[in-house]
Amino acid sequence: MQLDRRALMALALGTLATASSALAPPVRAQAPASGETELQRIVRTKLVRVGAVEAAPWYMRDLRSDKWIGVVPEQVELIFGSIGVKVEYVPTQWGSAVAGLQSDKFDIMGAFVANPQRALVVDFTTSPYDGRNGLVVLKGEVPDGAPWSSLNKPETKVAGVDGAGSTTAIQRLIPAATWTMVQSNDALMLELDSGRVDMIASNEPTLRSYVEKRRRGKMVMPTPLITTGSNFAMRKSVDGELLRWMDTALDYFRKSGQLQMIGDKHLLGGP
């Protein structure tokens, strides 16, 4: 049977379209439907994307299973698992997390400290808990409870993780110190191990982890005591539905004691 000219053209176009679709990247399951809110999309696709940083005890990647573990993975899997939503982790860094949220690389970011500057561009949940920030010192005598002002001098050689809430908070108090910025907790600890700095600035669990694993150094909490929250961040939206739902879920699991159990397990070495 012969095909007329229009039929041949249609057949050719159909073949090209099929070839093009085979070469094109697959459409993400998270593609929003018209007029859909962030929360509605997450519930419909049964998938939420979470920004993840190699930063124990908040996020850790198990090398054997390639599974993300730690405070934030257990929190989000508890919260979203309660409504049948799976979690996909997207590697990022603290310093680029806001950009990752705004560019839709992931939906939420956990253990992210809320501050006035960040709150202008992303939304934050309430904090499941607040943590203390301080130093681990290898060289020099820094008494626990010493004033931050005594460390605000160029001779103070200190390393911090770029973009981390604890770094930002401490840097405001000792801006005259000689700072070395790194991208991860592992790099932070290497700076101290190598002797390139005399101390590291971070949150209490990270500092305690260094002292316990290395069996060296002294953890100190200068005054005034600095605490930072452990919020979840997300893209700003007009409806705010995802933010309200997460605050409700956090409140529910806080009252149930489950968030406390996760925190105690990873931050205090509990069961």
Identify the DSSP state of 223.
Answer: B
Cα 104-84-64 angle, rounded to 5 deg: 75
Question: Among 170-174, 189-193, 214-218, 261-265, whose mean pLDDT is lowest?
Answer: 261-265
Per-residue pLDDT tens over the stretch 35-64: 899 999 999 999 999 999 988 888 999 988
- Report the pLDDT value the prediction gives residue 96, as an integer from 0 to 100: 92
Q: Which pLDDT band, with edges at 50, 70 and 90, does 120 fall under?
A: very high
Where do we find the tokens 């379209």? 17
- Report the pLDDT value the prediction gives residue 205, as an integer from 0 to 100: 81
Does pTM surpass 0.75? Answer: no
**Which are the contacts of 161, defined by CB distance < 8 A and separation ≥ 6?**
55, 94, 167, 181, 182, 183, 184, 185, 187, 188, 202
Which one is predicted more confidently, 128 or 14?
128
pLDDT at residue 18 greater than cutoff 50: no
Q: Which CATH superfamily is domain 132-228 in?
A: Periplasmic binding protein-like II (3.40.190.10)
pLDDT at residue 141 greater than cutoff 90: no
pLDDT at residue 100 greater than cutoff 80: yes
- Residue spans of the domains in the chain: they are 38-129+230-267, 132-228
- Report the pLDDT value the prediction gives residue 220, as an integer from 0 to 100: 95
Rg (C-alpha) for the chain, rounded Å, is 23
**Which are the contacts of 15, defined by CB distance < 8 A and separation ≥ 6?**
none
Nearest to 50 by CA among 8, 111, 2: 111
Per-residue pLDDT tens over the stretch 190-227: 999 999 999 999 988 889 889 988 999 999 999 999 98
Domains 38-129+230-267 and 132-228 share a fold: yes
The predicted model gives 120-149 an average pLDDT of 90
- The CATH architecture that domain 38-129+230-267 belongs to is 3-Layer(aba) Sandwich (3.40)
The predicted model gives 158-174 an average pLDDT of 92
Q: Which pLDDT band, with edges at 50, 70 and 90, does 34 fall under?
A: low
